[in-house]
Each structure stands twice: as structure tokens, then as C-alpha cells.
């Protein structure tokens, strides 16, 4: 199987990459590896949805992949979800894409600029209806997510986004990855480890090393069950 693995930063997957056998550079931001019977291209996009969208589109346009996997960390709105938990993101929303009208916020769909069910959206979300049939993925908690340019850290905006979208987690790249895969008709999965609660910025409470360790363990387990 030929697989595209997408990550924002190399540090998020350093442990996994040490378990893979290098097979040389595959182009800009792409490194080739093998693992078991699989050929893997690891794409390091950089942080944010713009970089992720552009580099994913470039890689997918070359074609030839059977599957795409996005691995990264995230923050959670769900305080019942322990830090370090690995989740399978099954739906994404672009929570900032819209316009302000005084105190009211209007989505791109409210503005009539994009239909709620206009491809690749379903009821305003990017939904993964057919993730890979993988026992490890099935065992992970499912999560709805929002993708943001500005990570939330204000009680007022957190309350607003919770009321409107009811997300479980947020990241800065997920929706861009999902959008690209849906457009290219490529099976995909987005897997993230929770490093922090979404609240007023409190780095001392984050558990980033633990989240990254859990993410890498799950990533390897997923590859072992493909």
C-alpha cells in the first residue's frame, strides 16, 4: 500500500519516523520511507491551514496514493477527555470562515456564498464517511473538530464557538487536510492526541510530550493493522 502521512511539524512524529526505513527524498517537504509492505511518503507541511492545503494539494495532485493519514496534536473543549488521549477526528468545520455583523457572526453558508451541502461539505461540515477499515481507528474515541487560524484562549469566544459548533477538539490544520482528501477522492483519517484543554492560555498545564508519545504509539499501531 502507498500511503501519504501528513504532519505539521517533524517533532510531532519523530518517534514514528525513527521506526521507518528511509528511501530518500520525494520532493519538496516529502520524505520517502518503507514500513512492512508499505511505501510511505511523509509530508511535513508547516503549521496552519494555508500551508497544509497548499502542500497537500501539491502532493495529492501527483497521485498514486491508496490512503492519507494526518497525525498531530490538538486542544480539547471536552474536559472529560483526559490529556494524552488519542482521538479519531471524523468531522471538521472551518469555524472562522465568514463575516461579522455587529455582535453576530455569519458563516460562509449563512452568507449564501457556499451551500451547506455543496461538495465537499455535508450540512456545513467536512465529514469522513468512509475512513479506512482499521481496528485501531475504530477503537479510538471519535471527535468532531474545528480548524482555526487563531487558537482559542478567551472565555467569550470559547463559549461562542461551543454554542455554535459543539466541537470536541480544535487544531490548525485538520480541515485543510480533510478538504484536500475529499476533493481528490482519497480515503483518509485524521488522528490527533490531546495536549491541552482549550481555555485561557496556560502552557504550564499542557502535556505536550505525553500527547506526542501517545500519538506516535497510535500511529505505529495503525500502520501495523493496515
Please provide the DSSP assignment of 202-223 as one string: -GGG--HHHHHHHHHHHHHHHH
When computed from its CA atoms, the radius of gyration of the chain, rounded to whole angstroms, is: 17
The pLDDT tens digits for 128-182 are 999 999 999 999 999 999 999 999 999 999 999 999 999 999 999 999 999 999 9
Distance CA 212, CA 218 (A): 10
Distance CA 13, CA 70 (A): 11
Q: For residue 223, what is its C-alpha cell?
A: 500502520
Distance of CA 35 to the CA centre of its chain: 22
Closest-CA residue to 55 (of 184, 164, 177): 177
Distance CA 65, CA 187 (A): 9
Cβ pair 165, 93 in contact under 8 A: yes
Looking at residue 27, its pLDDT comes to 81
pTM of the model: 0.95
Distance CA 24, CA 188 (A): 24
SS3 20: coil
Looking at residue 25, its pLDDT comes to 80
Closest-CA residue to 214 (of 157, 158, 136): 136
The pLDDT tens digits for 85-94 are 999 999 999 9
| pLDDT under 70: residue ranges of the chain | none
Please name the fold of domain 2-224.
Rossmann fold (3.40.50)
User: So where are the chain's domains?
Assistant: 2-224
Distance CA 77, CA 82 (A): 11
Give the pairing of strands 104-107 and 2-7: unpaired
Amino acid at each position: 500500500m502507498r500511503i501519504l502521512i501528513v504532519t505539521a511539524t517533524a517533532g510531532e512524529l519523530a518517534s514514528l519516523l525513527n521506526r521507518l526505513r528511509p528511501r530518500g527524498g520525494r520532493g519538496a517537504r516529502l520524505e520517502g520511507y518503507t514500513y512492512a509492505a508499505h511505501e510511505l511518503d511523509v509530508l511535513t507541511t508547516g503549521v496552519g491551514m494555508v500551508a497544509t492545503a497548499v502542500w497537500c494539494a501539491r502532493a495529492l495532485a501527483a497521485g498514486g496514493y491508496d490512503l492519507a493519514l494526518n497525525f498531530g496534536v490538538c486542544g480539547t473543549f471536552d474536559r472529560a477527555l483526559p490529556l494524552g488521549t488519542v482521538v479519531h477526528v471524523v468531522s471538521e468545520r472551518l469555524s472562522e470562515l465568514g463575516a461579522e455583523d455587529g455582535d453576530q457572526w455569519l458563516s460562509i453558508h449563512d452568507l449564501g456564498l457556499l451551500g451547506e451541502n455543496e461538495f465537499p461539505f455535508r450540512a456545513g461540515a467536512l465529514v469522513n464517511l468512509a475512513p479506512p477499515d482499521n481496528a485501531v481507528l475504530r477503537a479510538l474515541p471519535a471527535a468532531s473538530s474545528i480548524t482555526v487560524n487563531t487558537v482559542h484562549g478567551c472565555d467569550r469566544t470559547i463559549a461562542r464557538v461551543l454554542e455554535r459548533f459543539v466541537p470536541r477538539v480544535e487544531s490548525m490544520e485538520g480541515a485543510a487536510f480533510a478538504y484536500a482528501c475529499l476533493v481528490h477522492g482519497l480515503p483518509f483519517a485524521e488522528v490527533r492526541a490531546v495536549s491541552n484543554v482549550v481555555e485561557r492560555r496556560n502552557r504550564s498545564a499542557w502535556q505536550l510530550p505525553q500527547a506526542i508519545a501517545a500519538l506516535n504509539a497510535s500511529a505505529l499501531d495503525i500502520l501495523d493493522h493496515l
